[in-house]
Amino acid sequence: MDKAGYEAALQAARAGAAEGGVPIGSSLAGAEGVIAAGHNRRVQQGDPTAHAEIDALRAAGRRSSYRDLTLYTTLAPCALCSGAIVLFKIPRVIVGEDRTFGGEIAWLRERGVQVEVLQDQRAEALMERFIAEHPEIWNEDIAEGPARS
């Protein structure tokens, strides 16, 4: 299941890149297989909360419980997405890479979430290219953009 779940997240990241967005993808999978996938749509939708993990949760829809699912993401989750993981008690997260952005992996682990980092070169290459080509958009995505008056 981990291969299918992660590959769905990677495919979602590529879809986001093809749309001109931040190339981060996520999926949710359980015993029934991959149930949802999403990608960062912040640029496409002009929505600062449209991160990949949130998009995947929205695609999964309302469920009585998320405790039997694994969340896959191509990049270490930020504070927003990590909060959603903890809120919905998702017990396990598989991360593509944490070199281009360290995210909140330690915070998740402190709260009992099992986190595995793959250091997938495909995900890292997507992010490195995007950051080099669009540093201003990346800085907005991680809330490091210049202050506006």
DSSP, residue by residue, 58-120: HHH---S--TT-EEEEEE---HHHHHHHHHTT--EEEEEE-SS--TTHHHHHHTT-EEEE---
Separation between Cα atoms, residue 34 and residue 51, nearest integer Å = 19
Tell me whether residue 146 is in a domain. Answer: no
Tell me whether residue 147 is in a domain. Answer: no
pLDDT, averaged across the chain? 94
Specify whether the CB–CB gap between 1 and 70 falls below 8 A.
yes
Separation between Cα atoms, residue 41 and residue 49, nearest integer Å = 9
Tell me whether residue 89 is in a domain. Answer: yes
CATH number reported for the structural domain that contains residue 35 in this entry: 3.40.140.10
Separation between Cα atoms, residue 111 and residue 1, nearest integer Å = 24
pLDDT at 140: 83
Name the residues annotated as catalytic: 53
pTM for the model stands at 0.94
Query: Residues 48-59: what's their mean pLDDT?
Result: 97
Q: What letter represents residue 23's amino acid?
A: P
Question: Which DSSP state fits 17?
Answer: H
pLDDT at 149: 47
Q: What is the pLDDT of residues 11-47, one digit of tens each?
A: 999 999 999 999 999 999 999 999 999 999 999 999 9
Tell me whether residue 36 is in a domain. Answer: yes
Which domain covers residue 58, as residue numbers? 2-141
Q: What is the pLDDT of residues 64-73, one digit of tens each?
A: 999 999 999 9
Tell me whether residue 75 is in a domain. Answer: yes
Domain count, the chain: 1
Residue 142 has pLDDT above 80, yes or no: no
Tell me whether residue 37 is in a domain. Answer: yes
